[in-house]
Amino acid sequence: MSRPDDPGRRRFVLGAAAGAAAAAGPPSLRGLAMAAEDEPRSHLAAFNAVEAVARMSRGELSCERYAAALLARCRASHALNAFITLEPDRVLEDARARDIERKAGKPLGPLFGLPIPVKDSVNTRDYPTTGGTPALKNFRPKEDAPLIAVLRAAGAIVLGKTNLHELSYGWTSNNLAFGAVHNPYDPSRIPGGSSGGTAAAIAARLAPLGIAEDTEGSIRVPAAFCGIVGFRPTTGRYSTQGCVPISRLFDQVGPHARSIADVRLFDSVLMPDARRYEPKPLRGVRLGIVRDYWYTGLDPEVERVTEAALSRLEEAGAVLLETPLPGVERLVDLTTDQVQNHDVRVALARYLEQYETGVTLEELIAQASPDIRATFKSDVMPGGANFVTEPVYAAARDRYLPELRQLYRKYFEETGVAAMVFPTTRVPPPHIGEETTLDIRGQAVPFDQAVARNIAPGSTAGVPGLVLPAGLTGQGLPVALEFDGPAHGDRALIELGDALEQALGSIPPPALGT
């Protein structure tokens, strides 16, 4: 699995063009910067989704011009390898159709004209859905996933399909089939995974709002490593039907964005509610800190940025409450991997059949990249060294998972905290290829423990998690805080997000592609 990026394996599809054609850029992308000449490309790319939609809805900015500017940005940043499939002509055609609708006086949806990159594990009727794996490279679903149908009905445009860790089974997005995704803050480093392509696209200003997916950190790790906002809702809040699955107990779709305002917009479209969002002040809000789990063994720079960010929260009026949470590590160890490694072989086989991919699970694994094939052989399939037996799975699902979720419920009830806060990862973004162990204070730490230890409890417990940039390391790499709220407290967490975002402040955008 440990391997540097191989440009020869990188594939960036632009319409019918691929591979070397991407480097030259297809004719449909040439001159797109000129299409937005009267309003600089960098200016348009800096809009958040709320502002872009408002301008297009008022007719101050045409959908075609905005889409052209983002596509030009995509071409300029193609070396990030954020997309598996991007078809500029289709995007521009959809944008022109939106402009015609506005001129005809048709009702405009809350996402009118907004191009949204979609993780390539979510079914789309007019693009392949590869799951980042070779066996599905030509699979075209017959219909959109319900999530995509809702977004389109709200006026959104699909801005291609983004690259990911193959089958969403990892945290690097070093995809050996479609090429590694590169971090916009340092292209020699990973963007995180599995939704690395979406995170890289949002950070690099290729779009303001994108679709990611999280089973065990796949929204939150990339958000942290790419210096953007990530929101993993309570499990089940948004539909995951029509998404390449791992486990229905943990899988959840969610947004990547650069502002809380855009997360709020996304949530309001998928969860219509007559109540207006009411931003909450931070003064007097209790935030929980569990140091004996989430704050141990941190990289020195992550620790420095985290402590400075906590001080800013206190200065803004937040009350930091430190308590233990006994048992959390044990319950995660008994639940998280067991559920995922059991469920994926069942859920994935069902997906392949239900959506008529023409591929069996055995064929999919046989054609998978060596790293994924080895993981499935050892951890997922019968006969593997770490195969999860039915009794072990039943104990994880029926005993330990309910215990973990009850532990979280009691924690929030007894402490009265609005959210627990902690550094999303223990390390800044590692280099591409550093996938076995990472050095933390002179100690060799397993990669999964360094990157995923802090995010595993929240997604296993099914609670909402909001990731916000907290600052940069001395090398200019993003560090993030995660705020986990009580189950089904999504709306309250988003409402608190404005004050958290303001207190933490912003970080500079990546220099790449500016």
The CA distance from 377 to 506, in Å, is 43
The CA distance from 148 to 136, in Å, is 19
Residue 361 tokens, joined = 């699970």
Q: How far apart are the first and last CA of the chain?
A: 32
Sign of the Cα pseudo-torsion (229, 219, 192, 201, in order)? negative
Closest CA to 252 of 243, 260, 261: 243
Do strands 419-423 and 319-322 pair parallel, antiparallel, or not at all (unpaired)? unpaired
Contact (Cβ atoms closer than 8 angstroms) between residue 169 and residue 340: no
Closest CA to 193 of 265, 121, 298: 121
The CA distance from 299 to 426, in Å, is 6
Please give the distance of CA 227 from its chain centroid, rounded to a whole number: 12
Amino acid symbol at 50: V
For the chain, the C-alpha Rg in angstroms (whole number) is 21
Amino acid symbol at 58: R
Residue 99 tokens, joined = 């402009």
Residue 83 tokens, joined = 């997309």
Catalytic residue annotation? 119, 194, 218
Amino acid symbol at 183: N
* Dihedral pair phi/psi, residue 20, rounded to 5°: -65, -30
Contact (Cβ atoms closer than 8 angstroms) between residue 22 and residue 13: yes
Taking the C-alpha atoms of 199, 204, 208 and 212 in order, what is their torsion angle to the nearest 10 degrees? -10
Beta bridge partner(s), residue 431: 189
| Helices (H), ranges, 295-436 | 300-315, 328-354, 361-367, 370-375, 390-395, 401-415
Q: What is the DSSP letter of 39?
A: S
Q: What angle do the packed helices 300-315 and 490-504 form, to 10 degrees?
A: 100
Residue 477: how many other CB atoms lie within 10 Å: 21
Maximum distance among all Cα pairs of the chain, rounded to whole angstroms = 65
Residue 384 tokens, joined = 């593997």
* Dihedral pair phi/psi, residue 407, rounded to 5°: -60, -45
The CA distance from 356 to 208, in Å, is 33
